[in-house]
């Protein structure tokens, strides 16, 4: 983080028209709103507050003051690309912090509430800014008070968050090659489209759990493909909270770590998917301060197939494709497979049936069965059954219920599951079955 005078806070434009080299802003005439202009190596971050009257919030990015927020207002700042902690104060009260992954040249939105700071999708963020009554400027007196606040409280905020994140490090090291002859430079902040490969729940996830995404298109620099469609993007659960009636809905914060280029170079990336659980019931809201006695907290849930933009953290050099790049497996023969019916899953709570039986019409003696593809993509770690049993002319394989449900997509037509089947003589065949989720 730069020193306060180099943070490039966009709010300065409202106070001084003589600093175009620091930041530019404009007034959107249709909405009569002061808006920011994004810069190539920094992220434009809007902070929005709605519906909590009576108190002034001070917002910080790491140890730097980013602005004040009163009821139904917004502010914004230019933030260096990378991972930062966003937190705030209300008088002596310190609001919870959340990590924010930002790439240069992109725009982000953060919802600021007393009980929770939460990054929100761009479409929702734009609507919040449009609905806000005013842009909230700040003056030197605000900055002086806030800087004192930041110096006193930042060490405690940082220490608390660092302890929570002890199970997972979101930094992946990269060292450029000594010679880059014949290689392609992938610039920092290159966009990589991706989607989740699994269902996640705040009820079942733990900080540090691995999470898998896959790229949804080839990534090109000029005419050169540097990352193939279908490549695994490694991520982890960076933060989570189970739902409860005291602290409210559950929370999931998934942070992307790395992706392999066509030459197997590990490219550090940054991106995140943050989701909070559902709102409390209408009855709970009507009961006001007594709602805690009747509210039903909801878990946060992320679904397989949700899309996300991933960005490279820094310049990376990529060479010629690896000889074994994206080779995968080529099914040589097939056996018939089936499931007993729809699989009943409670995705928000991270629960499935006790087991998912898969039946194979195989007469050979089977020694191993692995679920290794879902929806046409290989799983990072093929799933083994808990039990394999011969049933006359069929074989039954019992897989863990949630082990399977976590990878199923919510598609009415079902999701194809591909199994690798190994016989006693070492031969390998493949089987495919269609799985349909029956969601609770």
Tokens 């002086």: give the residue.
144
Handedness of CA 30, 34, 40, 44 (dihedral sign): negative
What is the pLDDT at residue 169?
Answer: 54
- Which residue do the tokens 């014949």 mark? 182
Residue 20 clears pLDDT 90, i.e. is over it: no
Does 6 score more than 50 pLDDT?
no
**What pLDDT score does 138 carry?**
79
How far is CA 259 from each of CA 70, 71, 215, 335, rounded to the nearest angstrom? 41, 41, 9, 34
Residue 12 pLDDT more than 60? no
- Predicted pLDDT at 173: 87
Half-sphere exposure of 9 (CA within 13 A, CB side): 23
* 186-217 pLDDT per residue, tens: 999 999 999 999 999 999 999 889 999 999 99
Tell me: the pLDDT tens digits for 137-183? 877 777 887 888 788 899 988 888 876 655 455 678 899 999 999 99
Residue 437: alpha-carbon gap to chain centroid:
23
Whether the domain at 4-164 and the domain at 185-318 fall into the same CATH topology: no
Instruction: Give the pLDDT of residue 100.
Output: 93
Confidence at residue 295, expressed as pLDDT on a 0 to 100 scale: 40
325, pLDDT greater than 60: no
Reported confidence tier of residue 41, pLDDT bands at 50, 70, 90: confident
Whether the per-residue pLDDT at 361 is higher than 80: the answer is yes
Per-domain residue ranges of the chain? 4-164, 185-318, 334-439
Mean pLDDT of the chain: 83
- Give Cα separations from 403 to 240, 247, 354, 408, 414 (angstroms): 20, 29, 10, 10, 17
Q: Read out DSSP for 20-60? A: TTT--EEEETTTTEEEE---TTEEEEEEEE-S-TT--EEEE
Tell me the CATH class for 334-439. Answer: mainly beta
DSSP string, 307-337: EEEEEESS-EEE-SPPTTTT-------EEEE
CATH number of the 4-164 domain = 2.60.40.1120
Least confident of 256-260, 338-342, 376-380: 376-380
Choices 3.40.1180.10, 1.20.1250.20, 3.90.550.10, 2.40.128.260: CATH for 185-318: 2.40.128.260
pLDDT digits (tens, 9 = 90+) for 413-432: 899 999 999 988 888 999 99
Residue 394 has pLDDT above 60, yes or no: yes
């Amino acid at each position: 983080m730069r020193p306060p005078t180099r943070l490039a806070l966009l709010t300065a434009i409202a106070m001084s028209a003589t600093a175009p080299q620091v930041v530019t802003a404009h007034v959107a005439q249709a909405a009569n709103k002061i808006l920011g202009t994004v810069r190539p190596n920094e992220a434009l971050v809007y902070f929005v507050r709605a519906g909590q009257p009576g108190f002034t919030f001070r917002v910080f990015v790491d140890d730097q003051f980013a602005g004040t927020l009163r009821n139904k207002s917004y502010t914004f700042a230019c933030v260096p690309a990378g991972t930062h902690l966003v937190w705030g104060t209300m008088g002596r009260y310190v609001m919870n912090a959340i990590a924010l992954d930002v790439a240069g040249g992109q725009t982000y939105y953060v919802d600021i509430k007393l009980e929770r700071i939460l990054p929100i999708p761009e479409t929702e963020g734009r609507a919040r800014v449009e609905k806000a009554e005013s842009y909230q400027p700040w003056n030197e007196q605000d900055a002086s008070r806030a800087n004192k606040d930041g110096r006193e409280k930042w060490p405690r905020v940082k220490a608390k968050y660092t302890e929570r994140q002890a199970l997972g490090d979101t930094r992946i090291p990269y060292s450029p090659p000594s010679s880059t002859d014949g290689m392609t430079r992938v610039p920092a902040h290159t966009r990589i489209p991706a989607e989740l490969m699994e269902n996640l729940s705040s009820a079942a996830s733990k900080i540090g759990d691995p999470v898998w995404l896959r790229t949804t298109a080839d990534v090109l620099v000029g005419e050169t493909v540097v990352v193939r469609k279908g490549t695994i993007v490694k991520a982890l659960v960076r933060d989570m909270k189970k739902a409860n009636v005291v602290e409210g809905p559950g929370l999931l914060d998934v942070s992307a770590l790395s992706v392999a280029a066509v030459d197997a170079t590990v490219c550090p990336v940054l991106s995140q998917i943050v989701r909070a659980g559902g709102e409390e019931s209408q009855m709970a809201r009507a009961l006001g301060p007594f709602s805690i006695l009747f509210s039903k907290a909801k878990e946060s849930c992320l679904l397989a197939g949700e899309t996300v933009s991933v960005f490279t953290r820094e310049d990376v050099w990529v060479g010629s494709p690896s000889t074994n790049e994206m080779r995968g497996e080529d099914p040589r023969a097939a056996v018939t497979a089936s499931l007993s019916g729809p699989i009943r899953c409670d995705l928000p709570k991270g629960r499935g049936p006790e087991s998912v039986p898969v039946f194979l019409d195989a007469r050979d003696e089977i020694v191993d069965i692995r679920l290794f593809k879902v929806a046409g993509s290989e799983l990072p770690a093929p799933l083994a059954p808990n039990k394999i049993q011969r049933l006359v002319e069929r074989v039954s394989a019992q897989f863990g219920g949630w082990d399977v449900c976590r990878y199923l997509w919510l598609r009415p037509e079902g999701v194809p599951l591909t199994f690798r089947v190994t016989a006693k003589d070492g031969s390998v065949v493949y089987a495919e079955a269609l799985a349909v989720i029956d969601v609770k």
